[in-house]
């Protein structure tokens, strides 16, 4: 019978053999280390659990913890990632899910669940987070009234100038997401701003700028033409991918809309799905 | 392990005629591999279990076989996720749903994640008071 033990930052070499089962990113990619060495402070003393059989890792479940201020409250987050069991220990895979069942008062997300994981997590009270994504095409459109405060907006891309304008909780987000292939732009206006955090992700045929966070969708879409250009210059791809729950009711312009095959799931007793983005997750740490 | 049914009413003794046994110990004889073989000829059951438990186990094993879409003969009291390759995570959740429907129970998350063998399932059902004495719905 294998033993379930918490995984700390120092145990990366021990879990490498099970992480090698994943192809994205490649097994030898240095990104895998990000799973255990997250650049933001956390109160939890582990980064997931490993199933150990005679001192050898035979299974792993990653847990990416974070504290964020949302709606004036400090919320606890846990993003579940990289669930894997070696074939000969498949019968012990249920044990890996036990720590998830034990997480109380967390908003728990899984952005890349397999169908089997979805079936188990649904039974643990998880719901679908989003099933629709929009690809914003690189064609200009007429500006539309989005409900954003009237006034002139400027697009800021320099990190230092972005940081000067931000509220504390947003400055923390920027500090915590200084990764290769992860960028921020600021749409700064007279009354408010919109902070956009995005990375470059590869689809089947094309690469996209995937928007993980936009603090004010009304401002984002009010300045859409210029935002598209600014993001394309950073990520070197003209296509932008946004999730439906963040942009409901906004004029999207020319888009391609499609249903997601493997839907992200979440469980929260305090937050609605619109309040949950994909910051502090494997999508950024592993550049998925 | 192979089971053989014995008709209710008792054993027939070739020497002295029909031997009646009290109903509550009319037993199902279980043959367990190479140990304690049941010697039908001598009519000396070496391992007996109450018929009610046999019925419970049979229903449970049939439910498992139906859910996993395998032959019932492949499911025995030692069956688990380790011994049956068809019993994967997806099949496990289907099995949990079938058990909850069959026995009108709702498993806690900790229970459903640990019910990875027939024995563990029986233990979990017993915590709900579902035992050989209770009838599944």
Q: How close A62 comes to chain B (CA, Å)?
A: 18
In chain A (288 residues long), the average pLDDT of successive 10-residue segments reads: 92 92 85 89 94 95 95 95 92 92 95 93 94 90 80 93 94 92 94 96 90 96 93 94 92 88 92 95 91
Q: Where is pLDDT greater, at B46 or A212? A: A212
Q: Directed axis angle between helix B118-127 and helix B51-68, to 10°?
A: 120
Question: In this complex, which of A98, A101, A116 lies closest to B90 when CB atoms are compared?
Answer: A116
pLDDT at A202: 87
A116/B88 touch (CB, cutoff 8 Å), yes or no: yes
Q: Is A116 on the interface with B (CB under 8 A)?
A: yes
Chain A contact probe: residue of B89, B92, B93, B116 with most A CBs at under 10 A: B89
Interior/surface letters A97-114, b for 16+ CB within 10 angstroms, e for the rest: bebbbebeebbbbbbbbe
pLDDT at B30: 44
- Region B107-131: mean pLDDT is 89
The alpha-carbon radius of gyration of chain A (Å, integer) is 20
pLDDT at A207: 92
B2 has pLDDT over 90: no
pLDDT tens string B57-80? 888 999 999 999 999 999 988 999
Considering only CA atoms, which of B96, B23, B86, B1 is closest in space to residue A97?
B96
pLDDT tens string B93-102? 999 999 999 9
Q: How far is CA B46 from CA A53, A80, B40, B43, in A?
A: 38, 52, 10, 9
Q: Which residues pair with B80 in a beta bridge?
A: B117
Which of A185-189, B2-6, B89-93 is predicted with the least confidence, judged by mean pLDDT?
Answer: B2-6
A115/B82 touch (CB, cutoff 8 Å), yes or no: no
pLDDT at A180: 80
Mean pLDDT of chain B: 71
Q: Which residues of A touch B109 (CB under 8 A)?
A: 101, 123-125
pLDDT at B47: 52
B6 has pLDDT over 70: no
Q: Quick one: tokens of A230?
A: 């600014």
Please state the pTM of the whole predicted model.
0.82
Q: Which residues pair with A85 in a beta bridge?
A: A59
d(C-alpha A220, C-alpha A134), whole Å: 15
pLDDT at B53: 72
Question: Residue written as tokens 């732009």?
Answer: A185
Q: Is B47 on the interface with A (CB under 8 A)?
A: no
Query: Taking CA atoms, what residue in A is nearest to B84?
Result: A91
Q: Is A241 on the interface with B (CB under 8 A)?
A: no
**Nearby residues of B92 by Cβ (< 8 Å), 6 or more positions away:** A94, A120, B81, B115, B116
B112/A123 touch (CB, cutoff 8 Å), yes or no: yes
pLDDT at B49: 59
Q: Which residues of B touch A51 (CB under 8 A)?
A: none
Q: How far is CA B23 from CA A152, A216, B12, B121, in A?
A: 91, 75, 15, 28
pLDDT at B132: 59
pLDDT at B67: 95
Chain A contact probe: residue of B109, B116, B117 with most A CBs at under 10 A: B109
């Amino acid at each position: 019978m294998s033993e379930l033990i918490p995984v700390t930052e120092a145990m990366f070499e021990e879990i490498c053999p099970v992480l090698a089962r994943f192809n994205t990113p490649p097994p030898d990619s240095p990104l895998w280390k990000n799973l255990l060495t997250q650049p933001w402070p956390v109160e939890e003393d582990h980064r997931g659990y490993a199933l150990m059989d005679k001192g050898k890792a035979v299974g792993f479940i990653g847990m990416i913890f974070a504290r964020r201020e949302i709606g004036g409250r400090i919320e606890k987050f846990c993003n579940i990632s990289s669930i894997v069991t070696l074939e000969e220990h498949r019968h012990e895979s249920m044990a890996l899910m036990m720590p998830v069942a034990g997480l109380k008062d967390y908003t728990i997300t899984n952005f890349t669940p397999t169908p089997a994981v979805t079936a188990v997590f649904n039974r643990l009270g998880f719901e679908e987070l989003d099933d629709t994504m929009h690809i914003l095409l690189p064609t200009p459109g007429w500006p539309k009234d989005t409900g954003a405060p009237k006034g002139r907006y400027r697009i800021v891309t320099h990190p230092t100038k972005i940081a000067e304008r931000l509220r504390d909780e947003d400055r923390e987000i920027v500090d915590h997401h200084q990764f290769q292939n992860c960028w921020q732009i600021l749409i700064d206006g007279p009354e408010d701003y919109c902070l956009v955090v995005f990375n470059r992700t590869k689809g089947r045929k094309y690469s996209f700028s995937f928007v993980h966070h936009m603090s004010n969708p009304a401002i984002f879409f009010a300045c859409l033409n210029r935002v598209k250009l600014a993001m394309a210059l950073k990520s070197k791809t003209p296509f932008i991918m946004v999730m439906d729950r963040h942009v409901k009711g906004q004029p999207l312009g020319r888009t391609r809309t499609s249903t997601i095959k493997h839907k992200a799931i979440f469980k929260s007793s305090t937050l609605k799905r619109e309040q949950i983005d994909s910051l502090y997750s494997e999508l950024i740490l592993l550049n998925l | 392990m192979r089971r053989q049914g014995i008709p209710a009413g008792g054993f027939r003794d070739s020497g002295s005629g029909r031997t009646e046994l009290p109903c509550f110990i009319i037993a199902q004889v279980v043959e367990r591999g190479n140990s304690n073989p049941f010697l039908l000829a001598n009519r000396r059951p070496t391992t007996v279990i109450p018929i009610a438990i046999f019925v419970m186990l049979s229903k449970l094993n049939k439910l498992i076989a139906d859910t996993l879409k395998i032959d019932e003969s492949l499911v025995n009291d030692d069956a688990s996720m380790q011994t049956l390759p068809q019993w994967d995570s997806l099949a496990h959740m289907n099995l949990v749903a079938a058990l909850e429907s069959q026995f009108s129970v709702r498993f806690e998350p900790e229970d459903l994640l640990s019910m990875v063998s027939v024995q563990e399932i029986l233990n979990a059902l017993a915590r709900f008071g579902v035992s050989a004495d209770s009838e599944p719905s």
